[in-house]
Amino acid sequence: MSIRHTDYDALDAVAMADLVARREVHPGDLLDHALERVAALNPRLNAVVNLQEAVARRHIAEGLPAGALRGVPFLLKDLGCEAIEFPCNNGSRLLAVQRYPRDSAIYLKIREAGLVTFGRTTSPEGGIGPASEAAVYGAPTRNPWDLERTPGGSSGGAAAAVGAGIVPAAHGSDGGGSVRIPASCCGLFGFKATRARFPDGPYAGEGWAGMAIDGFLTRSVRDTAVLADACAGADLGAPYWAPPLRASHVDAISRPPPRLRVALCDTTFTGDPIDPEIRDAVHDAARLLESLGHRVEPAGPQADTLGMMQAWTKIVACGTAFAVRRALRGRPLQPDDLEGVARGAVAYAETVSGADYVEALGRIHAYGRELAAFFTEHDILLTATLAELPAKIGRFAHDTEDYVGYRTGPGMVFAYSPFTAAFNASGQPAASVPLAWSRSGLPIGLHLAARFGDDETLMALCAELEAARPWFARRPPLVGRAARDAV
């Protein structure tokens, strides 16, 4: 039995896997639909790269693992998640078409879940920035809700692909909001788990001093819950791992969470105002939480967020410089190897001494302790995900070499996204939930964070909000046109 394009768009990953398990649809048919969507939509979105259709069809023919998402088409971010059969550009001309001698631990778990990976999705060079406009892809990646706007970064291609209905779920990663920012831009659910919930090895001991973690972009909370359960766990020899779950993410969403103490912050953590339309969405989400019986009160963390941001900037620059040095293999850096922001990051890293790096890491850890103290009085912190609507294409282009200005200058990355990096620094679980849309029809993500290790409570709360205000059926106009054209 085959399915129509309209049926494909109405299914999340769990529903697709259920049809495969009942033999009502074949994995090859689902792959056909995904590839047809790529052909129809990717010329406008520029989200999917490094297609490996032959690999995907061979995996289907050889027999897929009997995992929870067997037969569902899937895409990897073009940064990390190293896999022998899926070359990776890392968003960079210098690192283009890298091949790997062994599979990463996170990819092996994705394979074991039964997913049918058939390509990768775009990211900015080195994962730096809230937009996906890397030169290696020839053009910017665009938002399916508005082609003149970015789908976010660094998992921007993943968000565009899921938002446009090419796949129901895709791999991403988050080192400063790189899952949650694109989720907000594209009307999706984006969950950043507690630090070290997923494996990093063997290609990395940790990402950005422990601030980066793998994740997923999905249209339903249950898809993320199933993916998280499938991929959770430390790899062999991991330097540390997350506190064990009480049961599972899927078990957590099977019942409502306890009634929670929710702190409402409608400014940035440094007290700056956010866009009034975004602020109104935060208050609307607070009223929704109150209607569900949660206790909401105004509060915000009294933590050194500016100091954390400065430390974060140093650590990411050093991580970028290390990756570049390893790729150069001793040869001098050439002008065309990197885009401006990455060149600036490498230059800035040269001014950071070993002592400076250790001090920056200490600041990050101190910030985590400051946030942990705040969460002794509150179970959840509610903010916006972004301080404004999704940015226009070009605003966060990588042509400047002023790396520090790009990150922390007026109107730049931290002004646009002042909330998400805090929880990479602290390691706490945090999520962007698509509870609102602007008057112009653009998605607005609301951001929720919980105390370290309490992923299950946060996931359960997100599922409760999804049930109270469903978002799954909200689709970009681009998707409706593509489905009608394909019928």
pLDDT means per 10 residues in the chain (487 residues)?
78 98 97 97 98 98 98 98 97 94 98 98 96 98 98 98 98 98 98 98 93 98 99 96 96 97 98 98 98 98 97 97 94 94 97 98 98 98 98 98 97 98 98 98 98 98 98 89 53
Q: How far apart are the first and last CA of the chain?
A: 16
Indicate the average pLDDT of the chain. Answer: 96
Q: Give the CATH number of the domain where residue 314 resides.
A: 3.90.1300.10
Give residue 335's pLDDT: 87
Residue whose pair of structure tokens reads 């058939």 in the numeric block = 118
Task: Say how many domains are in the chain.
Answer: 1
| 192 assigned to active site | no
Tell me the C-alpha distance between 6 and 1, whole Å: 15
Tell me the C-alpha distance between 275 and 440, whole Å: 14
**β-pairing verdict for 116-121 and 48-49:** antiparallel
Give residue 487's pLDDT: 41
pTM over 0.85: yes
Q: Which amino acid is at 133?
A: E
Assigned token pair, 426: 């602290």
Tell me the C-alpha distance between 68 and 47, whole Å: 26
CB atoms under 10 Å from CB of 28, counted, come to 14
Active-site residue (options: 132, 173, 178, 220): 178
Active-site residue (options: 104, 123, 132, 154): 154
Alpha helices, H only, 266-304: 276-291
- Whether omega before 101 lies within 30 degrees of 0, making that bond cis, reads no
Tell me the C-alpha distance between 347 and 251, whole Å: 48
DSSP 261: E
The residue among 362, 377, 343 whose CA lies nearest residue 128 is 343
Q: Is 440 buried (19+), middle (13-18) or exposed (0-12) by CB count in 10 A? A: exposed
Q: Which domain holds residue 262?
A: 5-486
| 109 assigned to active site | no
- Torsion on CA atoms 364, 365, 366, 368, rounded to nearest 10: 90
DSSP per position, 319-362: HHHHHHHHHHTTSPPPTTTS-HHHHHHHHHHTT--HHHHHHHHH
